[in-house]
Structure 1
Amino acid sequence: MDIFAVNNFGDTRSGGLAGPMGLFVIVLMSIATVLLIRNMNKRIRRLPDSFADGKRTQREAEIARLNADLERPDAAESSADLDADRSVAAAVPADDEVTGVTTKRDGGSAQGDAGRV
């Protein structure tokens, strides 16, 4: 009973393209990484040292927009419309205030005491 070692993995000498293709993929990925790092460094260098405050910038933009609206030739007509809209909105009654409801255990009113629900 002689047992011989059998190569069940196929012929290892033919089709030896996996090594060079792997090297090619690694080189391509390395080049792409270097280019991306260079690009990001350029973009980071272009950034300002500090950014403006968001609320201040938003306020300035709102002021500029309002000034541009006032400088339009038809600004007088639109401002009259805005005043009319405000007076209509003021005529609408406001909703009643919602107050807390207490139980008998809390004792008394919910206005101003610590037992509010």
Structure 2
Amino acid sequence: MRMSAQETVALVLAQTPGPPQDPGGQGEDFGKSSPLGLVLLIVFAISVVLLVRSMTKHLKKLPVVFDEDKASAATPARVKRAEAAAAKEAEETGEPEAAEEPTGSKAKTE
């Protein structure tokens, strides 16, 4: 009994496939963690603890209240020079709004 090509293709497509050689990674060890996973989890936990300690240490160094005078003293000199130049230019052109002194250079009146 000889089959035609169409019958052979139909027969091959109609067959149920056999069990696969690789069941998609769901072998005997599927769902079990390895010792490497435990080591990684411990390393991540230690790094989080160290980062929290470091962040806490840095936050403790911050002042509770930010003082404007101290902040102006900490500004870079080039920023102060630029503000002074802008104020001087505003005074020369006669613009009253921009002629105000730069922030932080106001004298204390106590």
For the aligned pair, the TM-score class normalised by the smaller chain equals 0.3 to 0.5
TM-score (norm 1): 0.38
TM-score (norm 2): 0.39
